[in-house]
Amino acid sequence: MRRPERLHLATRHVATVVCVAASGLVGAACGQPGGQASQAASNVGAASHAHDPESARALLRIARAFNNDYQRNEDAAVYARWDAASRAIISRATYVRRHRECPNTPHVPVDTWGVARGPGGAWLVHYSIDGQQFTDWWYYVHGRFVFDLPKSNPSAVPLYRASAAQYLKDAGCGQ
C-alpha cells in the first residue's frame, strides 16, 4: 500500500502526499507558503545552505531526485526539502519512524516531467506515480527550493498530526 503522501490524484482531496517535520525551525514563517528553507541537505547533492539556481531546470532536477528518494524510502532526504510550515506539522524523527513502519512500495514507477511558475511565487511540479498524475507546490526561499506539504497534500496534514496508532490505522499499515 502506498504511504499517505502519494495517495494523490483520484484521492487527492481525500488523502494526498509527502512529508513535513519540525526540527526547531517553527517560527514566524509557519503557515506561510514557502516558510523558511530547510537547514538539512538532500540527496540532490546539495550541502546544507547550498544555493539552488532559481530556474525550472534546476527545480526539475531537484524534484526528480525528491520523488525518486520518496519512492526509494529515503525519507530523511525527502524531509530535508520541506519548508518550515511543513516541518511544523511533524518532526523529522517521527516522520522517518512512521515511514519506516509503513514503507512506500519502492518499485512503483514515478515520472517527474514538468515545472511551471504558479501563483504567489509558487513553482508547480508535475509528475505521475504508476500512471496517476499529480502536482506539487514548491517555493524558492533563501536560495533553495522547498516543498510545501499543506498545499501539495492537504489531507496528509491531519494524518501526520494523528497519534502513531491512528496514523498506522489510517495509512493501512498496522494490519
Q: Which residues face 126 on adjacent strands?
A: 114, 135
Q: Which structural domain, as residue segments, surrounds residue 117? A: 4-171
- For the cut 80, the answer to whether the pLDDT of residue 159 exceeds it is yes
* pLDDT mean across residues, the chain: 79
pLDDT one-digit tens code per residue, 84-93: 999 999 999 9
Q: Where on the phi/psi map is residue 3: left (φ > 0), alpha (ψ -120 to 50), or beta?
A: beta
* Domains identified in the chain, total number: 1
Helix (H) or strand (E) segment spanning residue 60? helix 56-71
Other Cβ atoms closer than 10 A to 9: 17
Confidence category of residue 35, pLDDT binned at 50, 70, 90: very low
Helix (H) or strand (E) segment spanning residue 14? none
Of 17, 29, 110, the residue nearest 71 (C-alpha)? 110
Task: Output the pTM of the full model.
Answer: 0.74
- For the cut 60, the answer to whether the pLDDT of residue 44 exceeds it is no
Confidence category of residue 67, pLDDT binned at 50, 70, 90: very high
| Cβ burial 154-163 (10 Å sphere, 16+ → b, else e) | ebbbebbebe
Q: Where on the phi/psi map is residue 155: left (φ > 0), alpha (ψ -120 to 50), or beta?
A: alpha
Rounded Cα distance between 122 and 127, Å, is 16
Of 145, 28, 164, 32, the residue nearest 91 (C-alpha)? 164
Mean pLDDT on 119-133: 96
Q: Which three cell numbers stand for residue 159?
A: 494524518
